[in-house]
């Protein structure tokens, strides 16, 4: 969040995030108590469901990759004060681009093919983010509503394509044929679904971290902390807004590629488990810190994966994770108060 004082150090972001998570977990336990479940047992089941075996851990990593990318897709524009709620739509556009390439450009050899779909899905996502960005710059229209409204058409488009024009010829299911094997992402952990996409995500996070040491990052930080000063320094705010939105949209497009080339291998409705929206929470919990997004996405991936076991074991509906996400956002908003409270006490 744009802060009027110096941005907090990484360490205070880390422990304040942990405090926010703990507070949120405590508040959530109330919802477990009202259905007669012991929260400690439920949370233990959750933890075990996420980390209890190599296979489960690999599933957490599978879930982490799209959340990591989505978190970056939201965090980058957010650094510039732009709220990108359109990651869900942008990632669907990336998935469409990936699938079309994977079904038609079948003679491109790997690994060139992977690079190709990465670029194509990035462009698809960026183009979809272009519309809200231009509307914001040229007309001052808030990106909140435009990005959300533009989430729905790509989701509907995927439904239409996978059931209509791109449907597998002669197939029984509402999905496309499998994309060419050249486009399949290699496995990271043998015997599991964990694939190369996670590595792409982590490398990208570090890449953005380094990118932020360039003029782009410097100027965006100034825009974030003091928009009026940014103008006075001659910073072209519109240009940075556009660049961060395109970057964010493109990375969201990569989420689509990640899922199609790494897990689904074909296009069908519902392949995205709300990655775009969860990306918002991932970014906020990490306080928009790019390296922090890695840990934040791991946390939410563990929640999503472990909740299944928790529901089977204790009967707590997995929807409690959604409640937790909402509470986390709200608690994170008082992060400043928490930091001031704890640090104030330290020095007295």
Partner 1 sequence: MDLMDFVTSILRCTFMLSPPILFTALGEAIAESSGILNLGLEGIMALGAICGCISTYFTGNPWIGMFFAALAGIVLAFIHAFMSIKLCVRQEVCGIGITILGVGLSIYINRIVFGGAIAPVRVGGFNDVPIPLLNQMPVIGPAIFNQNPLVYIGIILAIFLTFFLYKTSYGIRIRAVGENPSVADSLGINVQLIRYVCVLFGGAMAGMGGAYLSIAQMHMFYEGMVAGRGWIALAIVIFGRWNPIAVLGGTLLFAGIDSVQMRIQVIAPWFPYQILLMTPYLFTVVVLILFAKKVEGPRALAMPFRRGEE
Which of the ranges 46-54, 146-154, 169-177, 297-305 carries the binding residues for partner 1, by CB under 8 A? Answer: 146-154
Cβ closest to partner 1, residue 53 vs residue 236: 236
Joined together, the tokens standing for residue 273 give 């488990």
Q: Which of 65, 76, 85, 245 binds partner 1 (CB under 8 A)?
A: 85
Residue 281 as a binder of partner 1 (CB under 8 A): the answer is yes
> Looking at 211, 263, 334, 339, which residue binds partner 1 (CB under 8 A)?
334
Q: Could you tell me how many residues of this chain bind partner 1 (CB under 8 A)?
A: 44
Q: How far apart are CA 62 and CA 66, in angstroms?
A: 8
Using CB under 8 A as the binding rule, whether residue 145 contacts partner 1 is answered as yes
Q: Of these, 153, 227, 308, 313, which contacts partner 1 (CB under 8 A)?
A: 153
Question: Of 134 and 211, which CB lies nearer to partner 1 in the complex structure?
Answer: 134
Residues of this chain, 251-280, that bind partner 1 according to CB under 8 A:
277, 280
Asked if 237 interacts with partner 1 (CB under 8 A), we say no
* Contact set with partner 1 (CB under 8 A): 1, 31, 35, 83, 85, 131, 135, 139-142, 144-146, 148-150, 152-153, 156-157, 159-160, 164, 277, 280-281, 284, 317, 319-330, 333-334, 337
């Amino acid at each position: 969040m744009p802060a009027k004082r110096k941005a907090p150090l990484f360490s205070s972001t880390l422990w304040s995030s942990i405090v926010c998570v703990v507070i949120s977990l405590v508040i959530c336990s109330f919802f477990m108590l009202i259905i007669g479940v012991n929260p400690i047992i439920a949370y233990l089941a959750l933890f075990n469901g996420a980390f209890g075996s190599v296979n489960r851990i690999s599933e957490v990593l599978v879930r982490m990759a799209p959340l990591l990318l989505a978190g970056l897709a939201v965090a980058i524009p957010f650094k510039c004060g732009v709220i990108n709620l359109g990651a869900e739509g942008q990632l669907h556009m990336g998935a469409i681009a990936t699938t079309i390439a994977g079904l038609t450009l079948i003679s491109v050899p790997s690994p060139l093919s992977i690079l190709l779909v990465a670029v194509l899905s990035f462009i698809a996502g960026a183009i979809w983010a272009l519309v809200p960005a231009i509307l914001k710059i040229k007309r001052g229209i808030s990106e909140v509503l435009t990005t959300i409204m533009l989430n729905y058409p790509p989701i509907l488009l995927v439904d239409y394509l996978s059931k209509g024009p791109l449907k597998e010829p002669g197939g029984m299911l509402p999905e496309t044929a499998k994309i060419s094997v050249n486009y399949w992402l290699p496995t990271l952990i043998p015997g599991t679904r964990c694939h190369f996409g996670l590595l792409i995500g982590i490398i990208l996070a570090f890449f953005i971290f380094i990118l932020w040491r360039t003029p782009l990052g410097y100027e965006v930080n100034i825009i974030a902390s003091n928009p009026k000063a940014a103008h006075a320094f001659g910073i072209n705010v519109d240009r940075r807004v556009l660049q961060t939105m395109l970057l964010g949209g493109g990375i969201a497009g990569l989420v689509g590629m990640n899922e199609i080339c790494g897990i689904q291998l074909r296009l069908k409705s519902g392949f995205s488990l709300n990655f775009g929206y969860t990306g918002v929470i991932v970014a906020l919990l990490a306080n928009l810190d790019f390296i922090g997004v890695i840990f934040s996405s791991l946390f939410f991936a563990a929640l999503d994966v472990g909740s299944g076991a928790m529901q089977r074991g204790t009967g707590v509906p997995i929807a409690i994770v959604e409640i937790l996400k909402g509470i986390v956002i709200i608690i994170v908003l008082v992060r400043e108060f928490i930091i001031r409270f704890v640090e104030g006490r330290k020095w007295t």
